[in-house]
A and B are shown apart, each in its own frame.
Chain A
Amino acid sequence: MKRIFPLILFSFLLGGCAAYKELSPKPELSPAERGYIELKDGKDNFTLDKDKKYYIKFPRPEGDQFVLAMKLNAKSALQYFLTDRFDGGDGSFQKIPDELATHDNTSAYLVNRLPPEYFWVIESVPYDVELEMAYRYVPQWRFTFENKYEAYKKILADNTIERDTYNSVDDRFSFSGFAFAEKLRQLNAATKNVRGMKDELVKLENIFPPNIASSRDTAYENFIALRNKTNDELQFQENYTTVLTIFKKEQDSHGSIAAFLESAPEFAEFVSQRDRFPRPMLEKARTTFIRRLNDAPSFYDDQLRAKNDAKKINFTPPAENARKLYEACGVQVPSDFRTLMSFVDRFNVEASGMALVNEKFQQIDRAFAANPPLTTEALFSDFLSKIADARSKLPESRTLSFDKYGRYVCATMLDAEIRNATARVNASETLFGMSQQFVQRLNANSWAPAEAILREVHYNASFAGVPAVNEQKNRIVRSFEGEIFNRVKQVSHQRVDAFVKANEAAIDNVPALYLDSAFIPVHQISFSASGEAEVQRKRAEVQNYIDKLKFNDFPAASITAIYRDFTRNINDRGVDRARAIVEHGKYYKGTDNQIRSMVNECDPNISKWIIRPKEYRKLFVVPVTTNPRGTNEYLFRVTLKIPSEAQFPVFEINVKLPKEVAEKAGTQAWFESIKLNRTEIKNEGRHTITSPTADNNYESQISPVQMDKDGNNVLEVRFKYPGYKVFEVSTMAQVPIIRKN
């Protein structure tokens, strides 16, 4: 505790040193609107000690928009401010700006009735000061006006323009050599000042109390007088500036009717302000303008004559400028100018119509440019709708009926454009209508009607005279031609694909499958814009695909599928499957050796190659007779194609037979005949045909089989079996060896 006490005391002392001292004037301060009242501490002035801080509470004013003004002797020495909230220097507060900050001895603050009181705070006293101070509560307008009244009077006096010249302008007045620029500069400078003062007065007037007009306040009366003078001077200066500007522009446009007509709306407005400007002055202007308007008709006629397109006429400056000036000047528009204007109006009506028509055409053209699919009905419905719109917008061409202007290039061009547009509308309507019909037929797979329409479109001569339509026709024909071809091809493909898929495993009556209509195109293409050769090419393309399926894919798929089933179980309709494969094989024109091999494997008449020695080659033996319930004859052939260094190669042929074929070989020959190159081999002489027995796993050896080294060596074996089925036989050839024993 003994330690803390000195610290608390020190802090208190420091706080006591920094505290603001409130000065309490006597008499108390009054917010009443009066003149300056001295601020006294009794009879004396307050003395401010060096480095001390003070504040004085000022009451709030009696009304809003008041000024608290202070005059003091030591403004420059003291640092002070006014605030509406002060807590001894703590907390936040906002300094109210000094409206007369630069004034030597006066400060003024805008105050109102919102805060309960104001605090005038002296923050710094550089030296001991005896404060001589007076304060005043005064309405803001009064404070301002009173402070600037003299200055305002001076501004007005300094910027008042003499009015003699202005008032002397009439028919006799000549602006020749008149110093427009200098006078306008002078006017502008003066007007700027006057208008600035006027703006201040307006602002000031806005803060006048509502009842001020009814009072007899001198300051207010002075204000009204000054305001009226200012307004009058400013109005004059503006009028004068306008007059000088108009006549200057007219003078500047000498030699350029275009420049004159460019300003014609201003001229027309000028001469129309009869209440604003002196009558003589306006008469001078009208006379001047009428004289200048004489050149207007020829000016616009020249432009028309030079126009070489059918677009809407847009004069520069607009002819309307001249017409309005005529009217403002109170003179009748000349007849040739009226005719010109009528022509222009008609021309522009037709041109505007054509613009709409052309817009439709362009929409169609853009649609074509976007390469849309041309096979949707919606597209051609839209085109036909656009063409209908265009037809409704097509203007009647009447510009040629204008005597003079009807011969102008623009009129001729517009007429031609209308006629062309009419032709295009007609042609497009025909083209798109037929196209729509084509698409409907096409989508209904009505190939022949669709192709007939296509042919009609192609040969329709009416399109030839309308290049844009003709080009579209060509595109449409190309597209339609391609589309009908693609559709025919696609549908033909789908049909034959479906047929192939549905029948690839069929084994009954195989030849009939190849006579099915699926192998004929759904439509024979009979038209091409490129001629008969293209027709034939397309026909061939469709047919080639079908033929590819007919003579390649279908038999290949069938052979593969049936062969798969066949090899999975040769006892399940094996003979039928084998024969179906052979039938398919008759149609197969492909080059897949695997497919060929499958066919060959099932065809008893085709010899199976043995190309390597000692490898057993499995082969299927199919009956060559058809007796499902009796004995059938079986045949298999093998061709020896084994490379040999011998000049006269000889082989041993080993045949592994099914048990059911060979098991009775001991009592009856298992074979009917064995032939080598159609010469029968008998089990005698140098040929040996061993008997297949259970001991040798039913393998029969035929030896020696002499080969023709460079020829075909076909070993043919026929046997009979009381059954109708497929057998598996394995054959192997190997080189016999020379034996010592």
Chain B
Amino acid sequence: MDEQKTQEAAIPAWAPPPPLQKSNKKRNIIIASSVVLLLLIAGGLYYYLTLDKLRGMIVIPYISHQKPTIDPHLPSSTALSDKLEEIQFDGLFNISADASGVIYEDGLGELIGIDENNIVSVRLKTNKYWHDSYIATMEKEELKSIDKTREHLFTAADLNFTLRRIQALGSLSPDYILVSQAIDPLAFEGPDASNVIRMRFRGDRIWKETDIKEVLSFKVLPDGSDMNALNYTIGSNAYLMLPPKEGVSNYHKSPDGTANIANVILSPFIDNSTFTTELKNNRINVLLDTPFGSLSPILNDSTKFFVKSNVSTTLFAVLFNTQRLNREQRMAVRSMLNGKQVISALYKVGTPQQRSIIDYRGNRNNYDDYVNKSVFPTSSYYIEDSVVTPFVTDMPVNMGILPDTVRIAACMNFGFREEYADLIDAINSPAISRGKLKVTAIQNEDIRRGNYDGLLVAISGYRSNFLFDLYDIFLREPDLQTYRINLVTIPGGGGISPASWKADKNFFRLDAEMGGPDQADINQLLQYIYGFMATRQIGDKQEFSRRIDVLENQLSLGAWMFSLPSLAYFSTQFDSTSIDLYGVASQLSTIKKWKEQPK
């Protein structure tokens, strides 16, 4: 697999005209031109002060009703959550990056080596403090001080607790797959007097240092933590969580941490429609995902902003309600929802309003690269490395088998409002809907009830690596407000239970026990999905991915339309050379290395 890297994209040659400055217009109307000079001075002062107020801060926006919660061992429906865990929690080794690519740095451990019996020795850094060793004192929502009130140091017990939790989570946790492919059972010996622990790695390969560190890069929680907490707050990494404000915490550099920038502020907004404006207005200085993942005309001043592309982490799909549409109907609708056609419409390709994109390889406006032909996104390893070769047909759509109107629903209240709004318009356009498809905005409650023929949904935070999460698509409870995976396994290693698929527990209204003409295929698909997610064998993952692709294609459970480009904007407050983003690594993995430009 090719190394996926994100590189700083050049500032586009074309830029849309800047929007009118309403305040200046008002001032021009109210104040005579004689005071123009004064106003310019005042405006410059304002701009300077506004710019300076974010000094020493990394301000990242979030949707106010999608508060990030952090579980470092489970995927989250909120992309920001997965990114924040990187700044708060340490692994024995932490993924990071430098100018040349991905690297692993010592976290809570120091690798001593691996012997001929595959015994890996790691010295634990027992001088590392857990964040609850400190108390942050706030005054009028401002941090006044951080004081060490006790010494809660990292120990082997914390590592043991973490391994037990990962073991308990099983296939729900990507960490389980990563660790168990190397260490089985998840255990270690020690520590000895030198705080060295020993883990027996499997003997089926030559373990290189980077392999070992990647396996041991799972995040460590302190012993005694709640095994099933919704939000884990005590880490040991560069930034510690401050007392929450409106349910969301900001972060401050840990006193014993090495972060260059002291504060990470999470700034709430109603939706993502104003994110670019807020960045432009210097109310935020980091925008990890711009709407549509496209270059923003208002942020084209390269003296103020720079961009870094990343691999896609969000795909838009229409998931079919199998209780309302039969297989032939689903196939017909899937054919109508041609990804290329949709993305062209969405990005207004070929029009003056075309939304430009740039990918991490430097390719520009390569919209076709984002068209998905399988449940596995085109950006994923499985498509990228041709493990899965999606079946593509251009057979004409038999409109006769469809109902008069295929009702497609979308809920715009949980992110991606901008994208949803334009997507609804695009699909409803006659060119795509052909008078048969009708997309409407609905409430989350309607989704719970399955009140749709198809559900237009953004599946965010997916990983394009081996650990592409099919549970997130197929086993997620149909509730955008609550993230819940309905995985029911048969005790004793008996695999997945058909009870995992009950009609009211997934977007597709699939029921593995209800019967019907698709019963056998549905059950088979469920087994394949579990096989794919639970295996720690790469060959099994590959084979199951192929089978899933084929069977899902036959069942036509969704139209997987396209993935959203990922583009991050940064204020030039930061030194762009200090920010390295690579491939599927979290955008915040290197945050403690970020530096500000000299004032």
Interface residues, chain A, with chain B CB atoms under 8 Å away = 613-614, 642, 644-650, 652, 684-686, 704, 706-707, 732, 734-741
Contacts and interface: CB of A to CB of B under 8 A. Distances in A.
B283 interface: no
Contacts of A684: 386
B214 A647 contact: no
A642 B539 CA distance: 14
B203 interface: yes
Interface string B184-203: 00000000000000000011
Tell me the dominant secondary structure on chain B's binding face: loop
19 contacts: A613-B205, A614-B205, A644-B539, A646-B540, A647-B535, A647-B543, A649-B537, A650-B538, A686-B385, A686-B387, A734-B205, A737-B538, A738-B177, A740-B178, A740-B465, A740-B467, A741-B95, A741-B214, A741-B582
Given A642-B204, A737-B205, A704 B541 contact: no
Contacts of B466: 738-740
A607 B535 CA distance: 30
A500 to B, nearest CB: 43
B465 A648 contact: no
Given A614-B206, A642-B204, A740 B214 contact: yes
A738 B542 contact: no
A740 B539 CA distance: 16
A653 to B, nearest CB: 12
B99 to A, nearest CB: 16
Question: Which of B182, B537, B583 has the largest number of chain A CB atoms within 10 A?
Answer: B537
A96 to B, nearest CB: 116
A741 to B, nearest CB: 5
B174 interface: yes
Given A739-B466, A741-B585, A648 B542 contact: yes
Given A648-B537, A741-B582, A706 B542 contact: yes
A736 B386 CA distance: 17
Contact of A734 (B177, B206, B541, B542): B206
Given A648-B539, A738-B466, 14 more contacts: A613-B204, A614-B204, A614-B205, A644-B204, A646-B535, A646-B539, A647-B539, A648-B542, A706-B543, A738-B467, A740-B178, A741-B95, A741-B214, A741-B585
B211 interface: yes
The secondary-structure label for the interface of chain A is: loop
Contacts of B411: none
B73 to A, nearest CB: 13
A422 B531 CA distance: 102
Could you say which of A648, A685, A734, A736 has the most chain B C-beta atoms within 10 Å of its C-beta? Answer: A648
A39 B585 CA distance: 166
Contacts of A739: 214, 465-466
Contacts of A613: 203-205
The winner among B182, B387, B465, B538 for most chain A CB atoms within 10 A is B538
B345 interface: no
Nearest to A654: B206
Nearest to A735: B204
B178 A738 contact: yes
B205 A735 contact: yes
Interface in B98-133: 102
Nearest to A652: B205
B584 interface: yes
Contacts of B585: 741
A430 to B, nearest CB: 81
Contacts of A741: 4, 95, 102, 214, 465, 582-585
Interface string B166-178: 0000000010011
B217 interface: yes
Contacts of A614: 203-206
A648 B531 CA distance: 11
What 6 pairs across the A-B complex have the smallest Cβ distances?
A650-B539, A646-B537, A734-B205, A648-B543, A685-B386, A613-B204
B536 interface: yes
A647 B531 contact: yes
Nearest to B102: A741
Given A644-B537, A738-B536, A740-B584, A650 B542 contact: yes
Interface string B521-565: 000000000010001111111111000000000000000000000
A739 B174 CA distance: 10
A707 B539 contact: yes
A734 B204 contact: yes
A739 B536 CA distance: 10
Nearest to B174: A740
Contacts of B177: 738
A732 B467 CA distance: 27
A738 B538 contact: yes
B181 interface: yes
A741 B584 CA distance: 6
B489 to A, nearest CB: 17
A741 B177 CA distance: 14
Contacts of B206: 614, 732, 734
Contacts of B95: 740-741
Contacts of A647: 531, 535, 537, 539-540, 543
A646 B531 CA distance: 11
Interface string B470-509: 0000000000000000000000000000000000000000
Interface in B226-264: none
Nearest to B463: A740
Contacts of A650: 537-539, 542
B467 A735 contact: no
B540 to A, nearest CB: 5
Contact of B539 (A685, A704, A732, A734): A704
A680 to B, nearest CB: 15
Contacts of B543: 647-648, 706
Nearest to A732: B206
Most buried by B among A642, A649, A732: A649
Nearest to A705: B539
A707 B204 CA distance: 15
Given A648-B537, A704-B539, A737 B465 contact: no
A572 to B, nearest CB: 34
Contacts of A685: 385-386
A450 B204 CA distance: 69
B207 to A, nearest CB: 9
A737 to B, nearest CB: 6
Contact of B182 (A646, A734, A737): A737
Contacts of A645: 537
A644 B537 CA distance: 9
A685 B95 CA distance: 28
B37 to A, nearest CB: 54
Contacts of B386: 684-686
Contacts of B541: 738
A210 to B, nearest CB: 127
A735 B178 CA distance: 13
B542 A704 contact: yes
A595 B337 CA distance: 65
Of A613, A706, A732, A735, most buried by chain B (CB within 10 Å of CB) is: A735
Contacts of A734: 204-206
B520 to A, nearest CB: 20
Interface string B565-599: 00000000000000000111100000000000000
A686 B537 CA distance: 16
Contact of B211 (A646, A707, A737): A737
B216 to A, nearest CB: 11
A732 B204 CA distance: 11
